[in-house]
Amino acid sequence: MGYSSDMPASFAEEALKAQAIAARTYAIDAKRTSSSRSYDVVDTTQDQVYKGFDEKYTNVIQAVQETSGIGILRT
């Protein structure tokens, strides 16, 4: 679990939750549609910019945990 540069950790709790759901949905969709490659997402601006885990961002960790299992289904 880490934080992205999509949204500062200082944003409101509900905004962080919405971002967690959106990021999770993106990753699930990438996994579903990446059958032609041996990986799902990359750690560049092509898919995301992952800055690693930092335990001081407790509000981000909490937002991810509180939205665990929630994603947006695409058909």
Instruction: Please name the helix (run of DSSP H) or strand (run of DSSP E) that holds residue 16, with its range, or none.
Output: helix 13-33
Q: Region 22-28: what's the mean pLDDT?
A: 86
Query: Which pTM was predicted?
Result: 0.74
Q: Are 4 and 48 in contact (CB under 8 A)?
A: yes
Which of the pair, 51 or 7, is modelled with greater confidence? 7
- pLDDT surpassing 90 at residue 32: no
- pLDDT surpassing 60 at residue 40: yes
